[in-house]
């Protein structure tokens, strides 16, 4: 049976319905061509590898449309990698991965600071691209939606569209959006919306939020006097180190994001939210005890949430050393999931060695390794991904 092409008119119609100006993006035509091209039989590669032996669930991967790579040629100081469905599927087959959860990496939709129109339009276009990847390969990919934060009302609308109409299995946010961290009071309405969504088909109420690091920035030129949506400010890098942020600052960003979510009581006020944390929680295990000294009234419940509603991936050189910080913090293996950061990890760290660090970890038994490689992810997404 012939595979149907995407309905491009529907993309326009839905954007117009939601008051999104796709034409504000000068690369729109190229992006729409790339979406349509995904369904091309030559691109889809009908002779897919045999995945019958594959069991692993990769919870941290990123599609990179060619037009997006041109817009954002650097990622954390490195060249943004190229990507294609066929290359991704080949990587999965070679590494015993049956399904990848994809989400656009930094800077997601935040390429146009203080430009709400284009940020909203870019978020929609990225979600339509990810939806098409999943539509073409439903047995191999699921996607997490990006949202146009810091514009909270528009982020709510985009999350609703992606979750309810496109079938996203969660949302992805960054450690900061235009310098605002996820616990900022201006984001409260977004978290509240996610927290009160109805459960799917009677399953346990659970919304999954993937927290991914991005470059730290600070607003100058009257930063304390203007709202984030004003055009009067300017965002500049606040990375204090002489080396690129991907080598260390990303881990500190992750710690800042968890701290922000905790101190703001966001995690306390929204009990149905489950947070998928990148890179083994980054630097947070090192600072958690000291940080929580400042919030004694939150500490007991926060520690409980870190061990029950936070899920930590293995992307990066996490095993066998870094992960021990979480284990020492009394985070159980049941909260650990597998991730590779494909394709961004390629050429940065030895992905094979990273996977083997988990596969050969002498402090985990075989049952625990199987849990990290796939069973924990299956439990997290149960009811949201059909095969789970």
pLDDT in tens, 96-126: 999 999 999 999 999 999 999 999 999 999 9
Closest CA to 134 of 85, 183, 171, 170: 85
**Alpha carbon distance 371, 382 (integer Å):** 14
**Alpha carbon distance 216, 176 (integer Å):** 7
Quickly tell me which residue has 């939210």 as its tokens.
Answer: 273
pLDDT digits (tens, 9 = 90+) for 267-282: 999 999 999 999 999 9
Angle at 86 between CA 52 and CA 40, to 5 degrees: 110
Q: 143 with 103: CB under 8 angstroms?
A: yes
DSSP 3-state of 209: strand
Q: 273 with 194: CB under 8 angstroms?
A: yes
Rounded percentage of the chain residues whose pLDDT exceeds 70:
93
Q: Check pLDDT > 60 for residue 47.
A: yes
Q: 221 with 233: CB under 8 angstroms?
A: yes
pTM: 0.94
Maximum average pLDDT range among 236-245, 262-271, 339-348: 262-271
**Alpha carbon distance 62, 295 (integer Å):** 35
Say what the pLDDT of residue 234 is: 81
By mean pLDDT, which of 96-105, 131-140, 204-213 is the weakest? 204-213
DSSP 3-state of 72: coil
**Alpha carbon distance 244, 282 (integer Å):** 16
**Alpha carbon distance 368, 140 (integer Å):** 24
Q: Check pLDDT > 50 for residue 230.
A: no
| DSSP-derived secondary structure letter, 67 | H
Burial of 46 (0-12, 13-18, 19+ CB in 10 A): exposed
What are the residue boundaries of the structural domains of the chain, listed by start? 56-380
pLDDT digits (tens, 9 = 90+) for 214-228: 999 988 865 444 343
Evaluate whether the domain defined by 56-380 bears CATH number 3.30.365.10. Answer: no
Rounded percentage of the chain residues whose pLDDT exceeds 90:
80
Say what the pLDDT of residue 336 is: 98
**Alpha carbon distance 37, 304 (integer Å):** 46
Distance, C-alpha 284 to centroid of its chain: 18
Say what the pLDDT of residue 61 is: 98
Q: Check pLDDT > 60 for residue 375.
A: yes
By mean pLDDT, which of 230-244, 252-266, 335-349 is the weakest? 230-244
Question: Which spans in 116-212 are helix H?
Answer: 116-136, 152-164, 188-195
């Amino acid at each position: 049976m012939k595979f149907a092409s995407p309905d491009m008119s529907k993309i326009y119609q839905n954007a117009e319905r939601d008051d999104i100006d796709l034409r504000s993006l000068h690369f729109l035509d190229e992006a729409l061509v790339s979406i349509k091209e995904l369904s091309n039989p030559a691109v889809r590669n009908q002779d897919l590898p045999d995945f019958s032996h594959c069991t692993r669930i990769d919870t941290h991967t990123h599609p990179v449309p060619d037009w997006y790579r041109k817009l954002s040629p650097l990622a954390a100081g490195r060249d943004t990698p190229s990507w294609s469905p066929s290359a991704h599927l080949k990587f999965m087959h070679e590494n015993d991965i049956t399904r990848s959860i994809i989400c656009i990496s930094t800077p997601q939709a935040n390429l146009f600071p203080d430009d709400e129109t284009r940020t909203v339009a870019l978020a929609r276009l990225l979600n339509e691209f990810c939806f098409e990847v999943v539509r073409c390969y439903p047995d191999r990919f699921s996607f997490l939606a990006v949202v146009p934060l810091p514009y909270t009302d528009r982020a709510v609308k985009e999350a609703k569209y992606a979750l309810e109409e496109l079938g996203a299995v969660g949302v992805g946010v960054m450690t900061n959006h235009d310098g605002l961290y996820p616990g900022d009071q201006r984001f409260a309405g977004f978290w509240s919306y996610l927290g009160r969504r109805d459960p799917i088909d009677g399953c346990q109420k659970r919304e999954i939020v993937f927290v991914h690091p991005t470059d730290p920035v600070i607003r100058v030129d009257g930063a304390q006097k203007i709202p984030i949506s004003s055009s009067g400010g300017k965002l500049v890098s606040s990375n204090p180190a002489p080396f690129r942020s991907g080598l260390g600052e990303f881990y500190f960003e992750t710690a800042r994001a968890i701290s922000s979510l905790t101190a703001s009581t966001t995690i306390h006020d929204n009990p149905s939210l489950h947070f998928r944390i990148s890179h083994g929680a980054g630097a947070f295990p090192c600072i958690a005890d000291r940080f929580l000294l400042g919030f004694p009234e939150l500490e007991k419940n926060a520690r409980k949430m870190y061990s029950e509603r936070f899920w930590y991936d293995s992307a990066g050189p996490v095993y066998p050393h870094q992960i021990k910080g979480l284990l020492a913090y009394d985070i159980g293996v049941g909260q650990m999931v597998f991730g590779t950061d494909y394709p961004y990890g390629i050429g940065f760290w030895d992905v094979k060695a990273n996977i083997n660090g988990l596969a050969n970890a002498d402090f985990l038994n075989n049952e625990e390794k199987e849990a990290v490689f796939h069973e924990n992810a299956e439990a997290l997404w149960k009811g949201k991904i059909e095969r789970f």
